[in-house]
Structures are given as C-alpha cells and as structure tokens.
Copies of this chain bind each other. A is one copy, B any other.
Amino acid sequence: MDLPPIVQAFVLHFGEMGSRWGINRTVGQIYALLYVSPDPLTADDMVARLGFSRSNVSMGLKELQSWNLVRLQHLPGDRRDYFSTPDDVWQIVRTLVEERKKREVDPTLSVLRELLMQTPASAEERHAQDRMREMHHLIELLCGWYDDVRRLETERLVQLLTLGAKVQKILEVKDRLFALPGGKGKDKAGKEG
C-alpha cells in the first residue's frame, strides 16, 4: 500500500469499518481513498495505491456504483474511467441512508406487512403478530420522519440538527400559545404543508 501515512490510516480504518457493515474491506478502502483524493482516480491508480488485484478493484467499483456512491467521468482524449465521490459530504450521507433504507428497511416493512395480513392460527402466532405490529409501527414512524427531513435543504437540516432537543422547548411554547383550554390540544401541527 503506497499512501502517505495520514491517508493510509484513514483508508485502513474504513476498511475495518466496512467489514463491520455488510461492505467488504476492499470496497471500504476504495471509497476512503476516493473520498480523500483531490482528483478523480482510475482503477489502475487504485491498484497502484491499495495493492489489490485489478479485478478486485473493478468489482469494488461496480459495487460502489450500484450504491450510487461514486461519480464516473471521462477526461477528453483519455479512454479510461475516472472515479470520484461527490464533493458534498452531506450528499454522500444522504445517498448512503437512502440506499440502506431501500435495501434493508423497505424489504423488512414489506415482510412485516405481509405477515400481519395473515390470519394467526394459534395464540403463539397471535402474540407474534402483536409484536410485529409494534415493530412495524415504529419503523413506519421513523420512515415517515425520514421521508420528511430528507427533503429539507442541507442548510435547513443542519439548522434542525443543531437545534437538537431544544425544539422541544419551542414546541412547548407553541402548545402554550395555541392550547384551547377545553380541547385535547394534541396533534396540532397536522396538515398544513
């Protein structure tokens, strides 16, 4: 591996991290390298710097492309493929989350939905369905939230995150302002977008 020490440490760390997720070491390292590279790289650049076989790099890049995590571009007068990551880290995170949701959460939701449709044949199945229902409900809630915030511009999103739980405070103020002394006062903010 032929990398300056700081880059090397970064690359190795993401290789390790990758393998804790479903991602394999190679793919993690390739992405880390791309992420810190000032310019787009060719597959052969990566071979030279990471020391994997050419075919391994090719497969890794294919994987990354299937995740929409790399940009592919061409330089005029050069037939080789040049790869890079988006400049904007937030874009990377958004893509990552989106793809993981697509691959992990959505299938789970559909399995749950399917199983919840079925008629339980025993007390055991009935209880199992109750549990699944709870899980389904929780996931739906999280997805709803995600679906909402992913549309925010990054600037707004950052604002929201920075605020953190202090939003609570503001909500309390709002509740106090708008509370109708007689009414339930609950789901106030619904339907106005």
Contacts and interface: CB of A to CB of B under 8 A. Distances in A.
Contacts of A111: 9-10, 13
Chain A interface main SS type: helix
Copies of this subunit: 2
A188 to B, nearest CB: 9
Interface in A113-151: 114-115, 118, 120-125, 127-129, 131-132, 134-135, 138, 141-142, 144-145, 147-149, 151
Interface of A: 4-7, 9-10, 13, 17, 19-22, 35-38, 89-90, 93, 103-104, 107-108, 111, 114-115, 118, 120-125, 127-129, 131-132, 134-135, 138, 141-142, 144-145, 147-149, 151-152, 156, 158-171, 173-174, 187, 189-190, 192-193
Give me the 10 closest cross-chain CB pairs, A-B, nearest first.
A148-B164, A148-B165, A36-B128, A145-B161, A38-B127, A20-B22, A13-B111, A36-B131, A89-B134, A6-B125
